Amino acid sequence: MTQNSALRVFRIDGVERTDTTFRTAIVENFVTPAGKSFVDLGAADGYEGRAIAARGASRVVGVEGKESLYLQAEAAAREAGLPNHSILRADVRAIDPAQTGGTFDCAMCFGLLYHMSNPYNLLKRIAHLTDDLLLLETHIAPDPSRDALLFAKHRDALLPGLRRVTLDGEDFEGRICPHVGAHAVSKGSLDAAWSLWLTAGSLAKALTRAGFDIVHWIEEVDAATPPAVAKFGAMVGWGHANTKVFVVARVNRDRRVAFDVPSLNLESGADALRPEGRIRRRLRRLVRAAGL
Ligand SMILES: C[S@@+](CC[C@H](N)C(=O)[O-])C[C@H]1O[C@@H](n2cnc3c(N)ncnc32)[C@H](O)[C@@H]1O
């Protein structure tokens, strides 16, 4: 590897690796990559999919919407020279099997769902992209009574209070996370002003309504967690102070629903975006900074 390499380096057990990420062992715990096809949604610079391609997957397509990250992922894929790994520039909010050149044995969706204003619509689309598995890592909306226990970065990212929001005609509950920073260079949403973090209950509802059966739901690393998952889950930040969940789900083809154009009724959540909410947040920060 040269200094100008496009390949991201992960230091694992003291060894610098470009073919293994912190999540690779977690993925391998639930699915053996060899011979299977994968789509990696929100691929960033392509590392997760590349690691799976390096383990003999039949085909891995990374989907990335931001130009700069897409170009990095492309350069990395070229450098790695894996014939089974390709990168597609596309907006996942409109993704379908025609764009990805067919369906996959497994969809990986890490760090992406909580950047959506309509996460339900994306889950419905994923149910049509995968023929079998979904591996999902996402944030869930913490109950506001737990805010004091959270990492400050998550607590401060969210507007106070739970909101009811209607997505594609179905009611869900969650918290609103306003976008911070320039869209083109952040690792977040492509262009949305805010995203919706579903509560655990609403995420389960969205998955089920989209056509998935939930096989594993991991919020805490505990004695029942498989060792590889525990070790690397801790590294990617699972645990009680965090708001992450890792879900393994299986699509039930008979229960999939149409992934029509996303619709979003903000009537019950719109007050979250009014200036009052932002002013309250700023005030809370000032009060905290002043140590009051
Ligand atoms: C927080 S990063 C997660 C990267 C990686 N999957 C991980 O978990 O380490 C979110 C990624 O999703 C991409 N993204 C966000 N919204 C997207 C959209 N609508 N379509 C395609 N990519 C999107 C971002 O550009 C970014 O690369």
Q: Where is 163: in which H helix or E strand?
A: strand 163-167
Q: How far out from the chain centre does Cα 55 lie?
A: 22
**DSSP H stretches of helix in the chain:** 24-30, 47-53, 67-80, 97-100, 119-129, 152-157, 200-210, 227-235, 275-289
Among candidate residues 23, 27, 60, the one with its CA nearest the CA of residue 41: 60
Any ligand 1 atom below 6 A from CB of 10: no
Residue 24's pLDDT band (cuts 50, 70, 90): very high
- Is 28:228 a contact under the CB 8 Å cutoff? yes
- Token pair in block for residue 258: 């149409």
Q: Does the structure show a pLDDT above 90 at 226?
A: no
Pairing relation of β-strands 104-110 and 170-178?
unpaired
pLDDT band at 287; cut points 50, 70, 90: low
Task: Give the Å distances, CA to CA, from 286 to 75, 165, 219.
Answer: 43, 29, 32
The stretch 85-96 carries a mean pLDDT of: 96
- Is residue 55 classed as helix, strand or coil in its secondary structure? coil
- Ligand 1 pocket test, candidate residues 66, 138, 189, most atoms within 8 A of CB: 66
* Half-sphere exposure at residue 209, Cβ-oriented, CA atoms within 13 angstroms: 18
What is the fold, at CATH topology level, of the domain defined by 18-142+179-188+198-261? Rossmann fold (3.40.50)
**In this predicted model, what pLDDT tens digit does every residue of 251-272 receive, in sequence order?**
999 999 988 877 777 554 444 4
Q: 69: Cβ below 6 Å to ligand 1?
A: yes
- Give 122's pLDDT tier (boundaries 50, 70, 90): very high
Q: Is the CB of 92 under 6 A from ligand 1?
A: yes
Whether the Cβ atoms of residue 42 and residue 19 lie closer than 8 Å to each other: no
The chain-wide mean pLDDT, for the chain, equals: 88
Ligand 1 center to residue 224 CA distance, Å? 30
pLDDT-derived band at 177, boundaries 50, 70, 90: very high
pLDDT category of residue 10 using cuts at 50, 70 and 90: very high
Q: What is the pLDDT of residues 127-144, one digit of tens each?
A: 999 999 999 999 999 999
Report the range of poorest mean pLDDT among 14-23, 146-155, 234-243, 266-275.
Answer: 266-275
Q: Give the DSSP letter of residue 62.
A: E
Q: Is the CB of 71 under 6 A from ligand 1?
A: no
Which two structure tokens, joined as six digits, stand for 165?
């929001």
pLDDT band at residue 1 using 50, 70 and 90 as cut-offs: very low
- The residue extents of the domains of the chain are 18-142+179-188+198-261
